[in-house]
Amino acid sequence: MSITRVLVANRGEIAVRIIKACRALGIESVAAVSQADKESLPARTADRAVCIGPPRSADSYLKIESIIAAALGTGSNAVHPGYGFLAEKPELAEACAKHGLTFIGPRPENIRQMGNKLLARAAVSEFGIPVVPGSKKVKNLAEASRIAQEIGFPVLCKAAAGGGGRGIKIVADPKQLREAFETAAAEARAAFGDDTLYFERYIPNARHIEVQVLGDRFGNVIHVGERDCSLQRRYQKVIEEAPAPRLSEALREEIRQAAATVARNLHYENAGTVEFIVDQDRGAFYFLEVNTRIQVEHPVTEMITGIDLVQEQIRIADGQPLSLSQSEVRFSGHAIECRITAESPSHGFRPCPGSIVDWRPPEGPSVRVDSHCFSGYVVPPFYDSLLAKLITRGDDRSEAVERMRLALENFTVRGVDTVIPFLRFLLHHPDYTAGKVNTRWLEAQVEQFSHCA
Amino acid sequence: MTEDEVLQILNLIEKSSFDFLQLELGDLKLMVSKSGYIPGTAAGSGIAAAPVARPVMSSTAETKEPVAQAKPARAEAKPIDTGVVEGAVAITAPMVGTFYTAPEPGAAPFVQLGGRVDEDATVGLIEVMKVFNAVKSGAPGVIAKICVENGQFVEYGQTLFLVRPEVVLDNEDPPE
């Protein structure tokens, strides 16, 4: 392996995950940490930690110059961006190349093209994959009005530079159009520096299904199955599982092949995820976007395939061919992931930074906990609220669900509020057990939960 | 308690609905107030004896701004890690990068041990991606210790020099 030392340009559980993968491959790791994370688990477990700046992520984790300086200064020859922060900034991938560092992720042109949702839709349509019916760039309000009428209300107003659920507005009727269009443009300008908007048909009874893909620089592309991420709150995923329940085998195979087609045509290198919306009323699926990074929910795929996706990312970046072919990918059992965040479900999901007095995660042969937390850890207020990912596996879905219920019962966190009580409530809900959900289901449960809490 | 921990506490308090915090750990006392409220002698001897800086934040009292909008707390206390030099303050790296003691190879260093610096004096350069950034002294005084070598990789916040401050300047706030 020519990669010998990896700078981990991220924090929290994913930094810990990357450090573990490096260690398993016999590679050294350097944790790039902000001042607030100097005593964090990644800082302690990496071979070395480097402070790259003050707590605010704009001054540390989002600063490309500091990441490059830290990598060069520590003699690292590769950079793993994790997810979030700079993971989908083509500028980081380019800066790495310029300074002789291997970027552990896709080529910058893929990141750039897929980062713009309009370019991505156009490219994927060319490959013969269905995209959600919608518009090209909407220039002004008059055009917005005409296009919205064509598509039909309610309609989704989306930012071309958005993604991961950010920059989306539902417009219920023509009266809301002006305000939605103008505020969406202002928000997109502020958040992404680009106020290009477009419209998409709103699909009320939808499931969010995404497919993990891997590609190497020799043109080999495989899919590693799909994940169902329909349970979302404010477009943020809460519970994910693999394989997707209640999906016909024909549709499942069609979606998996569509994802592989997208990756193959993009000459995609490294790990990526092709996201789709499944319209349950029409039995149809549409391309949504490509995430050009490792995803938070990657463990559910690992649990049913036995593939270590982060190690695979490093090997691919190192220039090695994929370690397995499509026919060697075997799916076995069912896995579920719950995101344990420091939010108070009984107080409108208010974030709860603070000191974790007692941290006792569940254990067991089919239970996996990816986390950077420990008793005495102080959850800083500067970053997102993810404390841990709790993953269970079963031979079938009901066994995985049963194990998740038990694992949630045996998860003790004191000192900060977490969503564990809400997750317990969801895992016992008959709709969830039956898999009768859509992307709006969880929001309704927030209401239900606050009534009975 | 480290400066980081104090900063973390300040941030937590700022985001919380509490106005006042008093923390005692052994002989260390920390008081933080968002409204300027300090409970007189309530806790006994308290305030005057507190050995650490006491960041009292005064929010713009009668405005209707929500509490969370109050100006972020900043611990002004820089004199951590003064090593063996008593009474010295640290000049720390403002960014991660490669530290240079001189403007170019072979040139005389910006500062030397025992040399006098004023607040705006350039004490070194940090190179980040071919861009050189001047490091300012930040405090007037005499260079008491040089902690890094030319060409060394430095982290954000790493101590570069120790400066023994000169006698109190008349524009400086008297210590509380």
pLDDT value at residue B86:
74
Strand A5-8 versus strand A28-34 pairing type: parallel
Q: Is the pLDDT of residue A139 over 70?
A: yes
Q: Do A50 and B158 touch (CB under 8 A)?
A: no
The pLDDT of residue B147 is: 96
**Nearest neighbour of B98 by CB, restricted to A73, A381, A382:** A73
d(CA A7, CA A14): 13
Nearest residue in chain B measured CA to CA from A71: B97
pLDDT in tens, A372-411: 999 999 999 999 999 999 999 999 999 999 999 999 999 9
Using CA coordinates, name the residue in chain B closest to A99.
B129
Confidence tier at A84 by pLDDT (50, 70, 90): very high
Give the residue numbers of A annotated as catalytic, written as ranges. Answer: 293
Enumerate domains of chain B plus CATH numbers: 3-69 (no CATH), 89-165 (2.40.50.100)
This complex has an ipTM of: 0.81
Mean pLDDT for chain A overall: 96
- Is residue B57 scored above 60 in pLDDT? no
Please state, in angstroms and rounded to a whole number, the distance separating the CA atoms of residues A29 and A22: 6
> What is the pLDDT at residue B166?
74
* Beta-carbon contacts below 8 Å between A and B: 65
> Which domains does chain A show, CATH number per domain?
5-104 (3.40.50.20), 133-201 (3.30.1490.20), 206-452 (3.30.470.20)
* Token pair listed for B5: 């921990």
3-class state of residue B15 by DSSP: helix
Please state, for a pLDDT cut of 90, what percent of chain A lies above it.
Answer: 92
Confidence bin at A164 (pLDDT 50/70/90): low
Secondary structure string (H, E, C) spanning chain A: CCCCEEEECCCHHHHHHHHHHHHHCCCEEEEEEEHHHCCCHHHHHCCEEEEEECCCHHHCCCCHHHHHHHHHHCCCCEEECCCCCCCCCHHHHHHHHHCCCEECCCCHHHHHHHHCHHHHHHHHHHCCCCECCECCCECCHHHHHHHHHHHCCCEEEEEEEEECCEEEEEECCHHHHHHHHHHHHHHHHHHHCCCCEEEEECCCCEEEEEEEEEECCCCCEEEEEEEEEEEEECCEEEEEEECCCCCCHHHHHHHHHHHHHHHHHCCCCEEEEEEEEEECCCCEEEEEEEECCCCCCHHHHHHHHCCCHHHHHHHHHCCCCCCCCHHHCCCCCEEEEEEEECEEHHHCCEECCEECCEEECCCCCCEEEEECCCCCCEECCCCCCEEEEEEEEECCHHHHHHHHHHHHHCCEEECCCCCHHHHHHHHCCHHHHHCCCCCCHHHHHHHHHHHHC
What value does the mean pLDDT take over residues A266-285? Answer: 97
User: Is the Cβ pair A73, B96 closer than 8 Å?
Assistant: yes
Rounded mean pLDDT, A440-444 = 95
Give the H/E segment covering residue B10. Answer: helix B3-15
| pLDDT confidence of residue A150 | 92
Contact A53 B156 (CB under 8 A): yes
Categorize the per-residue pLDDT at B12 as very low, low, confident or very high, splitting at 50, 70 and 90. Answer: confident
Residues of B in contact with A91 (CB under 8 A): none
Whose tokens are 């016992």? That residue is: A428
Task: Yes or no: say if B99 and B125 are a contact pair by the CB < 8 Å rule.
Answer: yes
Question: Is residue A199 a contact partner of residue A181, using CB atoms and an 8 Å limit?
Answer: no
Q: What is the mean pLDDT of residues A324-330?
A: 97
For residue A15, how many other CB atoms are within 10 A of its CB?
A: 26
Q: How would residue B61 be classed by pLDDT, with cut points 50, 70 and 90? A: very low
Indicate the residue of B8, B153, B154 with minimum beta-carbon distance to A36.
B8
